[in-house]
Amino acid sequence: MIGRLNHVAIAVPDLEAAAAQYRTTLGADVGPAQDEPDHGVRVVFITLPNTKIELLYPLNDASPIMGFLAKNPSGGIHHMCYEVDDILAARDRLLADGARVLGDSTPKIGAHGKPVLFLHPKDFNGCLIELEQV
């Protein structure tokens, strides 16, 4: 069902400093910051030859990233995103197998302009999983 790894998301306490570190220290291809109000985050994507890194920063005090950073003040890996061909078919299969889809199970449009869903970390070895339709 899942395809390639689309990105690994890292919550960061300082988006500009993290982006600069990837750009200057690691020599990575760092994209511009973009606000994702539907998800409560400001993101920067770093393009690698085989995947992407997504830096996440809270867009406001209601952002789900605020709680993560409160528990992990230095930041850390927040989620992994896998590609799927058909997000509704993937959702239906996961729900039938007993997995929990966060929210109301309706896909939202993600940072790449494509439908996404998040799966409960307790169902996947403590890792928050994002599925993105390609």
Give CA separation, 12 vs 55, 87, 103, in Å. 7, 28, 23
Catalytic status, residue 130: yes
- Check 54, 83, 130, 132 and give the catalytic one: 130
**Contact (CB, 8 A) for 7 and 25:** no
Give CA separation, 111 vs 26, 43, 84, 90, 130, in Å. 23, 8, 16, 19, 12
Pick from 79, 128, 72, 74: which is nearest to 100 by CA?
128
Give catalytic residue positions.
130
